[in-house]
Structure 1
Amino acid sequence: MEFGISYSTPFFGADPETLLGFARDAEEFGFESFYLPEHVALHPGAKIGAMALPPSLPFADPLACLSFVAAGTRRILLGTGVLLLPYHHPVTLAKRLATIDVLSGGRMRLLTVGVGALPGEARAVGVDFATRGRRADEAIDVLRALWAGDESGVGFEGDFYSFDDACVYPKPLAELPIHVGGSSPAAARRAGVRGDGYFPGGMLTAEERRRQFSLARTTAAAAGRDPDRLEYTRWGSLDMSPEDVEVLAAEGVTRVVVSPDSAEPGRRREVMAAFARRFGLG
């Protein structure tokens, strides 16, 4: 089992010292990875389920933040949870992600993508909300094609993205995994068909989680892919016990992502160090 830390800029702020302090503490205490979420644009009244999202929440750009973190750390892997893939053009995104991977020494390993849940956010970036799933599917294919392409160029012809003879360099230092986040059956199927891992949202029931991961695995098998190679990431908490983790491991979970409840350096280090001791990290 691997353990990651999530840093929420809306909760902890976009202060550079706080952001880098979190990442350095996570690296010091032996956490595998460091995640950031994304919202491109909010609006008054925005909600995800029953949770209101005040429009002034400081959702800093996750890739810019990860570049900053990479410069101030040495080992910790970099992740998104989640990057809203339909709201990025995949050609420019391929360049940005490969650049981060190169500059970080190959640590952009836990890109997790989702499709978004706010119609107003889609409108703000000129995307038809109803098409976001199909856009995400095409974007994943475009990213992989561009990273695998050589000097002869890559072509793509889809409903949303079309180009000829495109060459995008630099390349990632190794094949860049793409994990799929989301709580819907469509997200689970996308993970099975195209993903290297599945990271469901935090509001599902235990039975829903079981069904979703089973759907991801059966979809992978039907697509001729090895379901045992599909990583399974879940949200956890810093007060979870070894018994809690054993239950998750029995469900096939390969990674747990947690988040401290305080940005205060002393409290943050205290709870992270206790977690690291409990699970023998470092």
Structure 2
Amino acid sequence: MKFAIAYSTADGLDPDRLVAYARHAEDCGFEGLYLPEHIVLYPGAAIGPFEIPPALPYPDPLDCLGFAAAATRRLLLGTAVLLLPYHHPVVLAKRLATIDVLSRGRMRLLTVGLGTLPGEAEAAGVDFGTRGRRADEAIDVLRLLWEGDEKGVSFTGEFFGFDDVCSYPKPHGVTHLPIHVGGSSRAAARRAGRRGDGYFPGGALTPEERALQWELARTAAAEVGRDPDALEYTRWGSIDMSPERVETYAAQGVTRIVVSPSSTEPERQRDEMSAFAERFALPRIG
């Protein structure tokens, strides 16, 4: 089992705090650092029954991860989730590859999703109803650009198109970066199987629905000739979870657990991270 840590936007954007958090996570032995994304918020924006305060700071996750990478040595960089339909994949391919090169191959926990706020899609100039097809196409474009050589690559799709273009730099030492798919729907699970390198479902699912979605992802992979056993399965966990709970996750096929401190106070956060690392004997380097 792999263990990663998330950085909450509620903690603000103090650069010293972000660096201290990332360094302590690395010292504790966590595999990676995850950040969320919202492009914009607005009064009344809600995910299910939970309204999001419009002034809640959501910094750009890729800029934050690049900043954290410069202050760490081995911590992998992740998003949960990057709202893929609101990014142009030609621009995004270069941004992600650049971070991967500068971090010496650590932009490896990219998780993409569709977004659930219609007003956010409108502000980004994206038709909310087509964002799923747009995301599918964007994944194909990203991989095509990363795999292309100096002869150039071409693409003709519903949303994106180009002829004989070259995108450099390439990801560090790999053909393309892993792309995990996040979400809480059966469509997301199928997308993960057909196009993703892993599935990272949301937290508000019943055990039955969660199991069904993971099986959907595996089945979708097999249907298009992909190896379902190659899919990674990431889940949210709690900072105080027990070894027995982790064993339950493992029995369900989970390969990575992402946790968040329960406190917003930096010293208490560090204590919670350290206690988790000790409980699961993470490979500490500090």
Give the TM-score taking structure 1 as reference length. Answer: 0.99
Report what 2:41 is aligned to.
42
Q: How does 1:11-160 map to 2 (within 5 A)?
A: 11-160=10-159
SS in 1 for 2:5: strand
Report what 1:198 is aligned to.
199
1:4 aligns with 2:13: no
SS in 2 for 1:132: helix
Report what 1:272 is aligned to.
273
The farther-off stretch of 97-106 and 15-24 is 15-24
Q: CA deviation at 1:125?
A: 0.7
Question: What is the number of residues matched between the two proteins?
Answer: 281
Structure 2 unaligned segments of length 5 or more: list them.
none
1:233 aligns with 2:234: yes
Residue 200 of structure 1 aligns with an amino acid whose one-letter code is: P
Partners of 1:222 and 1:214 in 2: CA distance: 12
Report what 1:245 is aligned to.
246
Identical positions, percent: 71
Residue 80 of structure 2 aligns with an amino acid whose one-letter code is: G
Residue 238 of structure 2 aligns with an amino acid whose one-letter code is: S
Report what 1:217 is aligned to.
218
RMSD: 0.7
Partners of 1:133 and 1:271 in 2: CA distance: 37
Report what 1:186 is aligned to.
187
Partners of 2:258 and 2:78 in 1: CA distance: 11
Residue 135 of structure 2 aligns with an amino acid whose one-letter code is: A
1:148-169 C-alpha deviation (Å, 9 max, x unpaired)? 0000111000000011011110
Residue 194 of structure 1 aligns with an amino acid whose one-letter code is: R
The farther-off stretch of 248-257 and 268-277 is 268-277
1:55-84 C-alpha deviation (Å, 9 max, x unpaired)? 111000000000000000001100000000
Partners of 1:263 and 1:150 in 2: CA distance: 46
SS in 1 for 2:13: coil
Q: CA deviation at 1:266?
A: 2.0
The answer as to whether partners of 1:151 and 1:167 remain within 8 angstroms in 2 is yes
Residue 186 of structure 1 aligns with an amino acid whose one-letter code is: A
SS in 2 for 1:198: strand
Residue 124 of structure 1 aligns with an amino acid whose one-letter code is: A
Partners of 2:201 and 2:18 in 1: CA distance: 25
Partners of 1:26 and 1:274 in 2: CA distance: 12
1:68-102 C-alpha deviation (Å, 9 max, x unpaired)? 00000001100000000000000000000000000
SS in 1 for 2:210: helix
